[in-house]
């Protein structure tokens, strides 16, 4: 159990990166503080550096610059074993020739723990993961989700692990089992209160699992926040796009005298008054959830309607920009010319991508 701090972490896969060239680095100066016992997610598109960050924290990689602290101990150069972390990989890693029992006991046996201690521990973990009935079976005979549970079990079996890392652990799991395994993870976190760090590119996984989500893009942290913060107040238009389905509407706008306008209409927003500078790319961000049809407002044309179960996604076009909104399924979809209104409390202004 440990609090994890990352200080000015930078990483490059090149043998001699040029410190002045940002392109040489897959991770660009990151700092994060994670409290002990939390559930955290690293969320970002493929290639954003999230797995690299995870492997740096677990000790499978050594950072080019910066520090990783577990509690106050600098572990930047320590091995995974010294850091005492556990990791579950994208593809289930099991020891084929061993039984499920031996797989679970393996990390303890490697550390010279007595069999009398191992036995109850393995049985307890197997119970938590519903693996008790398969304990004496060969691990290679299990299905993908069973194997992934073993990987997870090998992490949980050590009572003193500093943190458990997950590197997209549900990639190879069947959709109907994904949900089960995800709730199992959540339940295990609540039971064991281990620090868990979960890497994924799937927003549903990140948002359901984590208390706090770190959104990454291009080797940088874009926003750290609770799922609600990320949804309601994205700090960057990237977060707005990446989280939510469909993503946030981003519209070009002008801001004059603390008032934003789009397509000649003044748009009430939550933060336009904060704007001071000039000559920046200004945009309005509003989620489809906070756009509605109105009697007056922004004139638009309905372009497309897609059924998404309880909601319909209506795509409209106004002044050359596309604006999507969600309509409950019991409401009639208007056709042709419509007027749109934005919810002021959830309409934000972004300058060069960042919230002002």
Partner 1 sequence: MSSKTQNNKAWWLVAPVFIMVAFNALVPLMTVVNYSVQETFGDNVFTWAGVHWFQDVLHSERFHSALLRQLLFSGIVLAIEIPLGLGVALTMPRKGPWVSVCLVLMSLPLLIPWNVVGSMWNIMALPDIGLLAKVINGLGIDYNYTRQPVAAWFTIVLMDVWHWTSLVALLCYAGLVSIPDAYYQAAKVDGAKTWAVFRFIQLPKLKHVLTIAVLLRFMDSFMIYTEVSVLTGGGPGSATTFLSIDLVKIALGQFDLGPAAAMSLIYFMIILFLSWLFYTLMMKNEDA
Tell me: does residue 87 bind partner 1 (CB under 8 A): yes
Q: Is 267 helix (H, G, I), strand (E, B) or coil?
A: strand
Tell me: does residue 86 bind partner 1 (CB under 8 A): yes
How far apart CA 104 and CA 209 sit, in angstroms, is 24
Cα–Cα distances in Å, from 7 out to 31, 76, 145? 5, 10, 35
Q: How far is the CB of 180 from partner 1 (least distance, A)?
A: 23
Tell me: does residue 154 bind partner 1 (CB under 8 A): yes
Q: How far is the CB of 222 from partner 1 (least distance, A)?
A: 27
Rg (CA), the chain: 24
Cα–Cα distances in Å, from 278 out to 173, 256, 348? 50, 10, 17
Tell me: does residue 140 bind partner 1 (CB under 8 A): yes
Tell me: does residue 136 bind partner 1 (CB under 8 A): no
Name the DSSP letter for residue 59.
T
Name the DSSP letter for residue 111.
T
- What tokens were used for 75? 């572990």
Segment contacting partner 1 (CB under 8 A): 44-52, 74-82, 191-199, 285-293?
Answer: 74-82
Binding mask 23-62 for partner 1 (x = CB under 8 A): --------------------------------x--xxx--
Q: Is 170 helix (H, G, I), strand (E, B) or coil?
A: coil
- Peptide bond preceding 246: is omega within 30 degrees of 0, i.e. cis? yes
Angle between helices 144-156 and 100-110 (to 10 degrees): 30
Contact 226, 41 (CB under 8 A): no
Q: Which is nearer to partner 1, 91 or 354 (CB)?
A: 91
- Which helix (H) or strand (E) segment holds residue 155: the answer is helix 144-156
Residues 112-131 that bind partner 1 (CB under 8 A): none
Q: How far is the CB of 135 from partner 1 (least distance, A)?
A: 18
Interface size with partner 1, residues (CB under 8 A): 28
Tell me: does residue 90 bind partner 1 (CB under 8 A): yes
Task: Figure out which of the listed residues 95, 177, 270, 351 binds partner 1, where binding follows CB under 8 A.
Answer: 95
Segment contacting partner 1 (CB under 8 A): 21-29, 89-97, 204-212, 346-354?
Answer: 89-97
Residue 199: which of 349, 33, 52 has the closest Cα? 52
Task: Figure out which of the listed residues 34, 40, 101, 106 binds partner 1, where binding follows CB under 8 A.
Answer: 106
Q: How far is the CB of 128 from partner 1 (least distance, A)?
A: 18
| Beta-strand pair 85-88/163-167 | parallel
Tell me: does residue 19 bind partner 1 (CB under 8 A): no
Q: How far is the CB of 271 from partner 1 (least distance, A)?
A: 44
According to DSSP, the residues that pair with 322 across neighbouring strands are 317
Neighbours of 214 (CB within 10 A): 24
Q: How far is the CB of 156 from partner 1 (least distance, A)?
A: 12
Segment contacting partner 1 (CB under 8 A): 37-45, 104-112, 182-190, 340-348?
Answer: 104-112
How far apart CA 206 and CA 186 sit, in angstroms, is 11
Q: How far is the CB of 253 from partner 1 (least distance, A)?
A: 47
Task: Figure out which of the listed residues 98, 135, 302, 313 binds partner 1, where binding follows CB under 8 A.
Answer: 98
Q: How far is the CB of 91 from partner 1 (least distance, A)?
A: 6
Neighbours of 93 (CB within 10 A): 14
Q: Is 296 helix (H, G, I), strand (E, B) or coil?
A: strand
- Which helix (H) or strand (E) segment holds residue 180: the answer is helix 175-192
Task: Figure out which of the listed residues 81, 115, 254, 301 binds partner 1, where binding follows CB under 8 A.
Answer: 81
Task: Figure out which of the listed residues 107, 234, 247, 285 binds partner 1, where binding follows CB under 8 A.
Answer: 107
Which positions touch partner 1 (CB under 8 A)?
Answer: 55, 58-60, 79-81, 85-87, 89-91, 93, 95-98, 106-107, 110-111, 138, 140-141, 151, 154-155
């Amino acid at each position: 159990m440990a609090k994890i701090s990352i200080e000015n972490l930078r990483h490059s896969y090149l043998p001699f990166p040029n410190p002045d060239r940002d392109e040489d680095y897959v991770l660009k100066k990151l700092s994060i503080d994670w409290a002990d016992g939390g559930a955290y997610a690293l969320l970002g598109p493929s290639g954003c550096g999230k797995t690299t960050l995870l492997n740096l924290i677990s000790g499978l990689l050594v950072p080019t610059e910066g520090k990783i602290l577990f509690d106050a101990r600098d572990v930047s150069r320590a091995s995974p074993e010294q850091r005492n972390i556990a990791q579950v990989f994208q593809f289930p890693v099991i020891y084929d020739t061993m039984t499920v029992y031996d797989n679970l006991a393996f990390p303890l046996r490697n550390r010279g723990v007595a069999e009398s201690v191992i036995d109850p521990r393995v049985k307890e973990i197997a119970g938590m993961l519903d693996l008790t009935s398969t304990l004496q079976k060969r691990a290679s005979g299990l299905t993908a989700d069973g194997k992934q549970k073993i990987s997870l079990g090998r992490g949980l079996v050590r009572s003193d692990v500093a943190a458990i890392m997950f590197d997209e652990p549900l990639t190879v799991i069947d959709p109907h089992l994904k949900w089960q395994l995800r709730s199992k993870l959540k339940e295990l976190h609540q039971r064991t209160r281990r620090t868990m760090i979960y890497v994924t590119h799937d927003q549903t996984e990140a948002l359901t699992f984590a208390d706090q989500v770190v959104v990454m893009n291009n080797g940088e942290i874009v926003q750290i926040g609770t799922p609600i913060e990320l949804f309601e107040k994205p700090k960057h238009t990237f977060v707005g796009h990446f989280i939510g389905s469909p993503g946030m509407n981003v519209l070009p706008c002008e801001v004059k005298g603390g008032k934003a306008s789009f397509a000649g209409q003044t748009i009430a927003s939550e933060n336009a008054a904060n704007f001071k500078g000039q000559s920046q790319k200004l945009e309005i961000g509003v989620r489809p959830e906070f756009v509605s049809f109105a009697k007056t407002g922004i004139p638009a044309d309905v372009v497309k309607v897609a059924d998404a179960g309880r909601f319909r996604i209506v795509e409209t076009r106004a002044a050359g920009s596309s604006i999507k909104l969600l309509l409950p399924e019991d409401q009639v979809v208007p056709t042709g010319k419509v007027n749109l209104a934005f919810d002021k409390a959830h309409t934000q202004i972004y300058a060069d991508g960042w919230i002002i």
